[in-house]
Structure 1
Amino acid sequence: MSLSETLFQEAQKYIPGGVNSPVRACKSVDATPLFIKKAEGSRITSVEGASYIDYVLSWGPMILGHAHPDVTEVAVAAAKKGASYGAPCEAEIDLARAVCHALPTVEMVRMVNSGTEATMSALRLARGYTGRNKVLKFIGGYHGHGDPFLASAGSGVATLAIPGTPGVPADVVAHTLLAQYNDLEQVKAHFERHGDDIACIIVEPVAGNMGLVLPKPGFLEGLREITRQYGALLIFDEVITGFRVDFGGAQKRFGIQPDLTCLGKIIGGGFPVGAYGGRRDIMQRVAPCGDVYQAGTLSGNPVAMAAGTCTLELLSRADYAGLEQRTQALVAELKSIFAEKSVPVVINQIASIFTIFFTQTPEIVDFPTASTADSARYTRFYAHMREKGVYLAPSGYECAFLSFAHSDRDINITLEAVRSAQL
């Protein structure tokens, strides 16, 4: 029995399922999770001492690579001065200023501790600002584990094939309206029926929790037009896309102006942090400035703020175009290899993100088409790649990510591993 297997058995005595986030249990790929000892650059190292090229990157935020020396240095320096004050510190201003300068629609921002906190808080703010109750989300879109968002959620909820709403009162989910991603007609129908009570649409501008699904031309523009027509707010959940598809997020890349934006741990260099921000008139409704209450003892803690400010400074000078070109080249090679093997695939890609769908469906545009992917084939692929030292997400409903730390050698090893796969 490996050390990871031993630790997993021990973990299950004290932690539900042996993990603190469900997908980590690797159930959908019939595997025992790897327990990680350390991570640096493009690689993670298991407790057994095995090194893996990492395409999970803590589910996306480690775009600079793990344990970037500059980020680590400022985080350690901050920790030596105290991990949490429960009081304001100058580092909060530094990171807030950096976020507002980077994102074209964020005039004010509130720091929280996770993407889930960000989306929950943004929804409360949207309801408080509009005086309305309903939220429209997209089937397969995951916005954290807040009660209103677990209706037809993607990510781990879809991976484990469990109901999205046990423990959530029916009257809470009754205010959540559902539409298929990329289907403006369904959105219009909801607004025609409930437009005077829809507070907001929340959307991943590039869906990342049903695998990577790109918006069709006109989809995001249509959402912006509809929300303006009915006086609802448009919330971009950029927990995955923020500072990943572009330094200014998906909103900059696609030229769309959401009213509110939610961000995740990428703005903290991987430390536990999130944020929501947007138009000044909306954000000024947040307490203590306004009457919409939200609070958190660790929000704006000095360690995460220092790491985040350093991360954004490094990213402001990073070669995003070059990283995207390397990702495009990797995806092109993957497509070629799968074609040689006569393995039907669709690979969706944008910037440094991609997902391999083993499917004969011509294109993946929403959750139903994403669900046509062959999960058994992905399980075999995952096991083979892990054996060859390549670490992929233990779910076909997730994304793969490149970082600035991935080398040409990493990519060549990855491609050789794919070439040797029996699928």
Structure 2
Amino acid sequence: MMSSSLIDRARSVMPGGVNSPVRSYRAVGGEPVFIKRANGSKIYDVEDREYIDYVCSWGPMILGHNNKKIAESVKKAVDYGLSFGAPTEKEVIMAELITSMVPGIDMIRMVNSGTEAVMSALRLARAFTEKSKIIKFDGCYHGHCDSMLVKAGSGALTLSHPDSLGVTGEFARNTLIADYNDIESVRRLFAENKGEIAAVILEPVAANMGVVPPRDNFLAGLRALCDENGALLIFDEVITGFRLCPGGAQEYFDVRADIVTFGKIIGGGMPVGAYGGRKEIMELVSPLGGVYQAGTLSGNPIAMAAGIAQLTELKENKDIYLRIDRMAESLEKGFKRMAKELELTLTVNRVGSLLCVFFTKEAVTDFKTAKSSNTKLYAKFFKHMLDNGIHMAPAQFEAMFVSDAHTEEDIEKTLEKAEKSLREMKNGGDFA
């Protein structure tokens, strides 16, 4: 079986031949690679070609693919049944693990995806504050729930427009768009919508416009503004949760959120999500309170088994973070060295084991500067790297993820192939 024949079959039965748009390769051109198996730091396509993988299923494979402890835990759980639609001990263990690891979370509710977690967190924030409007940031992604699929209108921060067909103007009007890393843009929105804002939601490290770290005091400034205006601060940690350190961005940056959302990393790659926060907020969730949210597969025993194994490993072996951060730093330094030696317009951003290479000379600090990156150059770089056995995100505005399964040899090979690719691109006149 070949990827080229599979995509033809897929397009006849699935929109674009994919179940998630970024897999279509439209941002980089060409045809998507179909994956058959994975192990450690490597993935293998249907033609058995090997790639060093820096997508890591978009983050959750922090221990590497097909981790033995996680796989064994899942296999044991399968013997007892796939789904019960009833409480299990594993749900309790998972909740105890998360609340013991993440500061500020007294109670947690399991769901089935990051999108569902965000949707539920927003409903909860509106109920708790009895306000309607939400502030989000241009370029931050929070899943495909209607109220988050909006974009800034031209010329005015206070006017937002639907970013997807099927999203009504009513949703857009209650979602206000600020600029990431610009605390004054948030302050203005609070002033212009006094007493109406329920919450501010953001990725504490923006990882869907590439990787963009928060400026010094930006997160602390948001915390203060929310406190001053009776609004909640929501950290969307679908990417950063358990990735930066055991306690996520709250621990890493020493800033507390009121509600935190998590995604696939808490399931070791299984479909899962969660949202949690202070007890007084979470007690509004049904059946204790009037905020309704339910799901037959929430707390699925197989997903919980995988997640317990992963989070236990991260809790008990904190040296993992030192190792993956060190390897990501090696990649960062390697890319920066190449940019200097080859005189290329390259900018590299890194936070912990998350990094991104932008094809721009500007410092990337927000969505506007991220969009200055030459996406055509990234597409060519991506193709070069893929042809040389390095699997990166098929889109400029995504992160590279380093896992504990990556080795020094993997890093050296990646940098070797990157330098080869960039030299070929320069010699071919791509950087002219």
Number of residue pairs aligned between Structure 1 and Structure 2: 413
Gaps of 5+ in 2: 153-160, 426-432
Q: Are 2:351 and 1:350 aligned?
A: yes
Within 2, Cα distance between the matches of 1:417 and 1:119?
Answer: 38
Q: In the TM superposition, what whole-angstrom CA distance separates every residue of 1:372-399 from its partner, at most 9, and x where no partner exists? A: 0011110110000000000000000000
Which runs of structure 2 are paired with 1:176-325 in the superposition (5 Å)? 176-316=175-315, 317-319=317-319, 320-325=321-326
- Tell me the TM-score normalised to structure 1 length: 0.96
Contact in 2 for aligned 1:141/1:152 (Cα 8 Å)? no
SS in 1 for 2:350: strand
Instruction: Tell me what 2:169 maps to.
Output: 170
Instruction: Tell me what 1:147 maps to.
Output: 146
Q: Are 2:377 and 1:377 aligned?
A: yes
Contact in 1 for aligned 2:162/2:168 (Cα 8 Å)? no
Instruction: Tell me what 1:159 maps to.
Output: none
AA matched with 1:399: A
Instruction: Tell me what 1:115 maps to.
Output: 114
Instruction: Tell me what 2:156 maps to.
Output: none
AA matched with 1:384: H
Instruction: Tell me what 2:406 maps to.
Output: 406
Within 1, Cα distance between the matches of 2:162 and 2:390?
Answer: 31
Instruction: Tell me what 1:360 maps to.
Output: 361
Instruction: Tell me what 2:430 maps to.
Output: none
Identify which range, 398-407 or 328-337, moves more after superposition: 328-337
Within 1, Cα distance between the matches of 2:322 and 2:104?
Answer: 22
Instruction: Tell me what 1:37 maps to.
Output: 36
Within 1, Cα distance between the matches of 2:192 and 2:380?
Answer: 46
Instruction: Tell me what 2:21 maps to.
Output: 22
Within 1, Cα distance between the matches of 2:354 and 2:168?
Answer: 35
Pairwise CA distance, 1:364? 0.6
AA matched with 2:353: S
Gaps of 5+ in 1: 154-161
Contact in 2 for aligned 1:110/1:275 (Cα 8 Å)? yes
SS in 2 for 1:74: helix
Contact in 2 for aligned 1:17/1:25 (Cα 8 Å)? yes
SS in 1 for 2:44: strand
AA matched with 1:171: E
Contact in 2 for aligned 1:143/1:237 (Cα 8 Å)? yes
Within 2, Cα distance between the matches of 1:331 and 1:163?
Answer: 36
Contact in 2 for aligned 1:96/1:109 (Cα 8 Å)? yes
Pairwise CA distance, 1:163? 7.0
AA matched with 1:350: V
Within 2, Cα distance between the matches of 1:370 and 1:227?
Answer: 27
AA matched with 1:150: L
Q: In the TM superposition, what whole-angstrom CA distance separates every residue of 1:172-191 from its partner, at most 9, and x where no partner exists? A: 11100001100111100110
Within 2, Cα distance between the matches of 1:326 and 1:168?
Answer: 42
Instruction: Tell me what 2:100 maps to.
Output: 101
Contact in 2 for aligned 1:115/1:263 (Cα 8 Å)? yes
Contact in 1 for aligned 2:355/2:400 (Cα 8 Å)? yes
AA matched with 2:399: C
Pairwise CA distance, 1:341? 1.6
Q: In the TM superposition, what whole-angstrom CA distance separates every residue of 1:164-222 from its partner, at most 9, and x where no partner exists? A: 23101111111000011001111001101113110100010000000000000010001
Identify which range, 2-11 or 95-104, moves more after superposition: 2-11
SS in 1 for 2:71: helix
- Tell me the TM-score normalised to structure 2 length: 0.94
Within 1, Cα distance between the matches of 2:255 and 2:168?
Answer: 34
Pairwise CA distance, 1:226? 0.4
Q: Which segments of structure 1 move beyond 3 Å, counting only runs of 4 or more?
A: none
Within 1, Cα distance between the matches of 2:330 and 2:33?
Answer: 29
Instruction: Tell me what 2:137 maps to.
Output: 138
